[in-house]
Structure 1
Amino acid sequence: MSEMDDRWLSVDEISQYLGVSSDTVYRWIDKQGMPAHRMGRLWKFKKDEVDEWVKGGGAADRSKMNEQEE
């Protein structure tokens, strides 16, 4: 893995990588425990941490999951 592959990603970069809006990223941080690190006023992300979170179902829409359980 090159040094560039392991760098910290911004909200814009991670939202583009995941194919979602930056508003969705902020919502996931707040409501669904998306792995993010605060650096001053900015949120930063490690791609491998986010990949594991997505694979583990972290990005699943919990409201839809709750409807299916009922």
Structure 2
Amino acid sequence: MAEMEDRWLSVGEICTYLGVSNDTVYRWIEKHDMPAHRVGRLWKFKKDEVDGWVKEDGAAEHTKRNPDKE
């Protein structure tokens, strides 16, 4: 039964687990180094890796100030 707990999660499953949209997960992969693994055309996730990333503030939305725009 332990093997089922350590299985790879799909984008939909990780979205449900984190309570965010698909677009948010894809943005986190691209811009915030979310731990994700490509399997063919699909992204897969390990829950413990994602948990560690979230705990290290990987999901925090950091805004960059652009002094030229002020």
Work out whether the TM-score is over 0.5: yes
TM-score bucket (shorter structure): 0.7 to 0.9
Structure-1-length-normalised TM-score: 0.88
- Greater share of residues in helix: 1
- Number of aligned positions between the proteins: 65
Q: Give the TM-score, by structure 2 length.
A: 0.88
Q: Per-residue CA shift, 1:28-66, capped at 9, x if unaligned?
A: 000000000000000000000000000000000011xx4
Identity of aligned residues (%): 72
CA RMSD between the two structures: 1.3
Larger Rg: 2
Corresponding residue for 1:25? 25
3-state SS of 2:9 partner:
coil
Aligned-partner SS, 1:61: coil
> Aligned equivalents of 1:18 and 1:7: distance in 2?
16
Per-residue deviation at 1:6? 0.2
